[in-house]
Amino acid sequence: MKVAAVQLVSGADLAENLAQAQHWVAQAAQAGAQLVVLPEYFCFMGHHDTDKLALAERPGQGPVQAALAQWARDCGVWLVGGTLPMATDDPSHVANACVVFDPQGQALSRYDKIHLFRFDNGRESYDESAVLSAGDVPTAWSLPEGQGEPWRVGMSICYDLRFGELYRALAADVLLVPAAFTYTTGQAHWEILLRARAIENQAYVIASAQGGKHDNGRRTWGHSMVIDPWGEVLAVHSDGPGFALAEIDRTRLRSVRSQLPALQHRRL
């Protein structure tokens, strides 16, 4: 099965962001991708954290979810909608939610980011908890492939990548990581962490990132990639919009898990 990790440089114009995302989803589908993963905040990166509150959607309602459903139908792909702001009971906070759509445009699964990023090195500072409400449910879903065994797909978002226990709980064949890693943290840790999650879980990792200089002055690391269960990087898109395209193979997954049955050797 071909998969694509789409990379964007989203800004503060919702319509423009959606147009760019639609373009790259279509391009990935034309290249043969059956599973397409958009990055975190693909639809909007405002000038202030609170800007996203005005765009909060309810489940099954709103222009972002409608667009994702339409793209999935039009392109005939399984589409992972990066993240979008989803309304909560607290009007001052939203969930950073990832919604998955099947090729018929039906919402199949939703995951709310569990771990909220906070960072301050004296030059740049972030605290997602100021406007985001954390999720608390590890989420996985089943992706059929022809007449064969379905893939178990585990969900995560950006900062979740630093918490290996989440991935153990997912027990998945494919791990998704839509992200908007900062340039500073991404340069230091992005590929190392992604390859570690692939190796220790003997799973494919599809990591779709923001990658460039944004309207709000933020710079993201990019380097969207697909990694195999041995930790080999199969494809990478370093900077700017585009996508990393690669094949995931059930035989390869079984081979790695059979030759080194580490998952069977766990004691804790």
Q: Give the contacts of 184 (CB within 8 A, at least 6 positions apart).
A: 121, 124
Tell me the pLDDT tens digit for each residue of 110-153: 999 999 999 999 998 999 999 999 999 999 999 998 878 999 99
Tokens representing 83?
A: 């993240």
Catalytic residue among 43, 75, 98, 158: 158
Across the range 14-39, mean pLDDT stands at 98
Could you give the domains of the chain?
2-265 (3.60.110.10)
Q: Is 113 a catalytic residue?
A: yes
Catalytic residue among 57, 98, 113, 128: 113
- Provide the pLDDT confidence category of residue 216 given band limits of 50, 70 and 90: very high
Tell me the pLDDT tens digit for each residue of 172-196: 999 999 999 999 999 999 999 999 9
Please give the Cα distance from 82 to 85 (Å, whole number).
11
Q: Is 43 a catalytic residue?
A: no
268 has pLDDT over 90: no
Catalytic residue among 16, 40, 128, 191: 40
Q: Is 128 a catalytic residue?
A: no
Tell me the pLDDT tens digit for each residue of 29-84: 999 999 999 999 999 999 999 999 999 999 999 999 999 999 999 999 999 999 99
167 has pLDDT over 90: yes
How far is residue 233 CA from its own chain's centroid? 17
Which alpha helices (DSSP H) does 100-227 contain, by range?
164-170, 183-185, 191-201
What's the pLDDT score for residue 59? Answer: 97
User: Whole-prediction pTM value?
Assistant: 0.97
What's the pLDDT score for residue 146? Answer: 81
Tell me the pLDDT tens digit for each residue of 85-108: 999 999 999 999 999 999 999 999
